Amino acid sequence: MPRASILACAVLATACAPKAVMFAPPTPLPATAAQAYVDTVSVELDFRSTGGAGFVRLIQHPDRLEIGVIVEDAVPGQHALCVHEYGDCTDRDFLRAGLHYDPLQTDPDDDGYHIGDLGVLRVNSDGRGELSVDKYDLTLAEVLDRAVILHAESDEGHGHDMMGSGYRAACGAIEPGASSRLAEVEWELMDLRHYVQQLGSYMATKP
């Protein structure tokens, strides 16, 4: 067979041969909100003059700031929990922490809501209390280098303690990157207690 014919057959066979399928690696999907990076800061409360212990955990989610509080051996009753202007808990009465964090400059004579107000912590007769709140108008970046104050009484919205929330029973500075292994143990124990309670409620409802 002539050389030209052989080359023509080879080219035709190559063109008609089945092609190998090439698989490209899948394109990574964008991270969902649930997979986004979450930053956490743990704060230990100083109950300098009244005794007790307390822990605050702040978790920045993509859409909210989650704040949880646990206190032990505290005075029973209702206690306002607020973010204050400055992260200074060095004086005996925690006055260096300033007033409630209030970037909107609420009128001091107004009973309105402050962005720094976190709610009311109810302490049981055994001295233990827990609070969990989601803040959609506050970020972790805003509260860094400020302080969390636990007041002696429930708050009526005032920035001045003598107008509603009583003296400052405990203070904790919110420092960047702060973490407390003791606080983390407390949260793990709290989560375990809640799981046991839910399991007990479930078992009680089973026929």
Q: What is this structure's pTM?
A: 0.67
Which contiguous run of DSSP H or E holds residue 196? helix 181-205
Would you write out the chain's pLDDT as a tens digit for each of its 207 residues? 554 454 444 444 444 444 443 434 434 334 333 334 458 898 999 998 777 899 999 999 999 999 999 999 998 999 999 999 999 999 988 999 998 898 887 655 555 667 889 999 999 999 999 999 999 999 999 999 999 999 988 755 444 454 444 588 999 999 887 666 665 666 666 666 656 766 776 677 776
Torsion of CA 185, 186, 192, 193, to 10 degrees: 160
**Contact residues for 68 (Cβ-Cβ < 8 A; gap 6+):** 56, 57, 59, 130, 131, 132, 133, 187
Torsion sign, CA atoms 156, 162, 167, 172: positive
CB atoms within 10 A of CB 198: 10
Question: What are the residue boundaries of the structural domains of the chain, listed by start?
Answer: 35-197
**Contact residues for 135 (Cβ-Cβ < 8 A; gap 6+):** 64, 65, 66, 67, 118
Fold of the CATH domain 35-197: Immunoglobulin-like (2.60.40)
Torsion of CA 166, 169, 174, 175, to 10 degrees: 140
